[in-house]
Structure 1
Amino acid sequence: MAFRSAVITFPGSNCDRDMAVALEQVSGTPAIRVWHGDADLPDGLDFIALPGGFSYGDYLRSGAMAARSPIMQAVIEAAGRGVPVLGVCNGFQVLTEAGLLPGALMRNASQNFVCRTVPLKVENNRSLFTSGYKAGQTVHIPVAHHDGNYFADEATLDRLEGEGRVAFRYAEPVNGSVRDIAGVLNEAGNVLGMMPHPERAIEPAHGGSDGRALFESALKGLVEA
């Protein structure tokens, strides 16, 4: 069965090619590139990725304008049907702005751009995206963001924790995110938003391959479904 994935490109995306290359390397099938101004997604998609970058130059709020792009209505509908959706960095910001994930990404507490490889703790290894990891495992994934400070009110945070929807947590201070949250899942478990870049850690030439298991987990889960 061919794995049909799509990578959405917004004006200002700069990690869309990285994401497409990662998906092809792991699945063996080229990702379909979709422009944000399209109204429809290709039929029969197994996976949708919203990549990192600086959509619309982070004007107003990071991801706010991209979340209103024509293609996002189709992404929201696909997510509602259970299609896996991964948002990385700016893609995570877009998912929160579009209402697919709770919370918001604010300016880093240091007010500085953070660009380095950071340790992450795998909090939930029972999701479509994380089954290839061990619970509590520490992995190392690059970050590159200025607005990665995750925030949500206490009630929302308690609900995320109680429902096992915190996928990854920073194992050291990175950007001021509440409870060190680095990645969250939606209630159905088919939408993941995370600030670190797994697509930049899929082979040793990248300096590490800890991100590869995320894509392999999704592929395996879809094949077995």
Structure 2
Amino acid sequence: MTTEVRPELPEGYLGAQPKFSELGMSTDSHPDPEIEIKDNKVEITLKYTKPVKITHQLINTRTEADLADYVFVQTNSADQKISLVVHMPESDFYKLQIFALPLTDESKSLPNVFNYLIHCARVNNPVYPFPKQYAQWKEGCYIKEPVVLNSHSKLTNIKWKVRIPNAKNVAVVADGEWHHFEKKDDGNWEASFSLDKLRGKDAKVTLNGNFGDDESKYSTLLEYKI
């Protein structure tokens, strides 16, 4: 049982910070920086006019625990929207801090551009950490399924559907075994295969893309643990 008391926040902390509009970003789904939800899952979308890369922190305001693994970020370049799917493991207040830079900016330090305060009133669903997202994933990639994959998931005939800009080939490597994808007419990469034999083995499963002339060189985009 948690005592949910709205935290005191510094003046000007919530909402857009100076760089937000400078980067051509705007709110889409949640213009109000204070979000009250009756579930423990929420999807927040932002708009952009020029491609940006973003990182984030999700902090439980009571425990100060950093729960960044419970946020999944992806980009829908067709709509020029960035989606942040946020899962909260317990009822409480959470700070979602968003950091951004132009996609072409190679700086390692991203400035804070927007802050939300989310109050999760109750936990209706079990939640699990999202896959680890590597740098290249944040360059316009989008996965329709599966967003969450672990030992609690259905692991028979998993259907994969992803969009990876500029990829020449896509493959999942599961505990050393390769599963290659097929590119469809709509530009998505798809595959279907089972990973049941890996259940409970803490096996590493990675989604990878080949982007260059060397067909043997793949970059890791997402990393799941089963």
**TM-score normalised to structure 1 length:** 0.30
**TM-score normalised to structure 2 length:** 0.29
Greater strand proportion: 2
Greater helix proportion: 1
